[in-house]
Structure 1
Amino acid sequence: MEEVITSLEQIPDEEGKELVKLARLAVEEYLKTGREIDLKEVPYESWKKKGASFVTLELSPTHQLRGCIGSVLPHQPLYKDVIHNAIAAATSDPRFVPVRPEELKDIRVKVSVLSYPQKLEYTDPYDLLQKIKPFEDGLIIRYGNHQATFLPEVWEQLPEKTQFLSHLCMKAGLPSDCWLTYPLEVYVYHTKTFSE
């Protein structure tokens, strides 16, 4: 069984910064040649472990979102996950047209590595509000076939817990008050984010 990244401490800053370079390289190469890069040699042990990542592309200097795609559960080696999500963020985010090569110089790349999501046990909506930690927790909600996640950095736009949950419900294609009325499954994770 391949090892899974269990703690964010397993990714030191230096390796995280290299992941950001890898993400940019993956996007550049794909936009030029249409091919997904692969590494002849994987430079760090942590990259070989299964890990979940999100790659975010932002326009500089406005920080406007230009694409963001990721995995919430580790299902492939971390470096492959980053390559795959970087290309997807640039070309397959349904909210945006694909990135053009000439835009790359104005784009900042961010890579977030996710901890393994833990189920949050709660008794009612008020208990749920008590248990989530703004600016720290990333959340995944699930109900039937609906699922959505917000990274911890989304708290910067939605700092109020009720607002955060309402927007997350809508992202999952559910009514905005679903967290008050539906028996949602909620999972919590943390991230370590590296950026250019």
Structure 2
Amino acid sequence: MSNSAQTLIRPPAIAGTFYPAAPDALTDMIDACMAGARDNGLSPKALIAPHAGYIYSGPIAASAYRTIVGRADKISRVVLLGPPHRVAVQKFCVPSVHAFRTPLGDVPIDPAGIAAALKVPRVEQSDIPHAEEHSLEIHLPFLQRVLGDFTLVPVLVGGPTPAETDALLKALWGGPETLILISSDLSHYHDYDAANRLDQDFRRHIETLSPEKIDDEQACGRFPVKGLLARAQALDLRVTTLDVRNSGDTGGRDNRDRVVGYGSWALEYASSARLSDDDRAMLIDGTRRSISNGLRTGRPAEVQHGSFSPALETYRATFVTLTLNKNLRGCVGSILPHRSLIADVAENGYKAAFGDPRFPKLTPEEAALMDVSVSILSHPRPVSFGSEAEAVDALQPDVDGVILQATDADGQTRRGLFLPQVWEQVPAADQFLRHLKAKAGLPQDHWDNSIRLWRYTTETFH
């Protein structure tokens, strides 16, 4: 190969240090990490995964890559964003080389993706920041092993705003053929307990799509992460935490004074996201157990955290609906996520049975005959409108759950919520909105500039 051709390929910078340089040893190490990763039945559009040496973060990264094994043949492009550690980048930087090399072969750069990125403000092109950077390269052998052939759009992310990163991701988002991958470790060089506290806080900010709450201590890749969360809000993505540990867990218990945190997350479109049948059954059973405990003790069942799947331990908002002979018998829920999914259904199931003011407390006889339905809510997104007619036109029958907030004649804030199932009883959007205003305690013909609407979707099962 000529020298000019060689300069078009970025050679591996961390082979032999962060991961084995020998192809067979590298393959064996990746396969061992993947063998220990759980199949969660997810179908993510985007992943967040760590970038330390494989001995430290390989198992955590593998939990992210395991989620794309089932659709590996459909992914032909990876948009990879990560932070620079050696050469400063102001906003964004893409390379000019034609491929990134690893011991497993060359990963071609997607020229169309680079061209699209360069049309976004504040994107520069230089190979210098990429030459020795590990945060992107570390993911490539895993991706090569899982996906086989694919093209790459590598972007180093300096200090942009979430809106700037959101704009870049929007330009590169693509369709099912494109995987978005954000590279980030978590807290750095705290003692084990302090790191766990910081990393669990970060986990909650990810799960609740709260980029504004992420601070400088929580993740080296916070800037691309914040941008991804902004995109997730806009596109109604749902987050599942896959694994959160630190080097004190993976590198041995003898060194817990200065640890680095690692985590992995999967982001799916909420409209198509689906829990596994086992997790669904666990939620229905947990709801019934909480109601049974309420009948015996007057309290919801306590949830023993750490014994459930990652999906059930993720913070999500739910509504629990109880019916008796197909008639509503109680319905209580959470609008925003503020505790684990399994804990939320336990609490809301108890309140639906014994705390819905529209009904008397559930009796043991009714509990034996009741049907239980659980709805998992996506993150509410604001609905834009300039008039009541525009609000009606903006609603999507049989799809949208809707939250309404307004100020009444006495200056009091009023709120009402309808699950998407309500469309079955009120299929016309104008009547749906009128009934929602009534549920909020407002006259059905009330309209003023204080009215705000949010939409969400649900995964509902019984």
TM-score normalised over the length of structure 2? 0.40
* Aligned twin of 1:67: 330
Partner residue of 1:146 out of 414, 428, 448: 414
Which residue identity lines up with residue 459 of structure 2 in the other structure? K
Q: Quick check: 1:51–1:75 contact (8 Å CA) kept in 2? A: yes
RMSD between aligned residues: 1.6
Q: Which deviates more from structure 2 when the two are superposed, residues 37-46 or residues 84-93?
A: 37-46
Q: Percent identity?
A: 35
Correspondent of 1:164 among 429, 432, 457: 432
Name the counterpart of 1:136: 399
Q: Secondary structure at the match of 1:79?
A: helix
Quick one: distance in 2 between partners of 1:124 and 1:183? 11
Q: Does residue 113 of structure 1 match 2:376?
A: yes
- Preserved contact between residue 17 and residue 194 of structure 1 (Cα < 8 Å): no
1:34 Cα deviation (Å)? 2.0
Q: Distance in 1 between matches of 2:344 and 2:385?
A: 31
Residue number in structure 2 paired with 1:155: 423
Aligned to 1:4: 207
The residue that corresponds to 1:175 in the other structure is 443
Counterparts of 1:32 and 1:159, CA distance in 2: 40
Q: Which moved more, 1:90-99 or 1:119-128?
A: 119-128
Match of 1:188 in 2: 455
8 Å CA contact 2:393, 2:429 repeated in 1: no
**Matching of residue 47 in structure 1 with residue 250 in structure 2:** no
Residue type of the alignment partner of 1:92: G
Separation of aligned partners in 2, 1:17 and 1:122: 39
Letter in 2 for 1:86: G
On the 8 A contact 2:417/2:436 being kept in 1, the answer is: yes
Instruction: Give the corresponding residue for 1:38.
Output: 302
Where does structure 1 differ by over 3 angstroms across 4 or more consecutive aligned residues?
180-183
Deviations 1:142-172 (A, max 9, x none): 0131011000001111111111111110111
The separation in 1 between residues aligned to 2:381 and 2:442, in whole angstroms, is 22
Q: Which amino acid aligns with 2:460?
A: T
Deviates more, 1:7-16 or 1:65-74: 7-16
Question: What SS is found at the alignment partner of 2:207?
Answer: coil
Of 153-162 and 181-190, the range deviating more from structure 2:
181-190
Cα distance in 2 for partners of 1:10, 1:149 equals: 23
Gaps of 5+ in 2: 1-200, 209-236, 239-269, 408-412
What TM-score results when the alignment is normalised by the length of structure 1?
A: 0.92
Matches of 1:35 and 1:163, distance apart in 2:
38
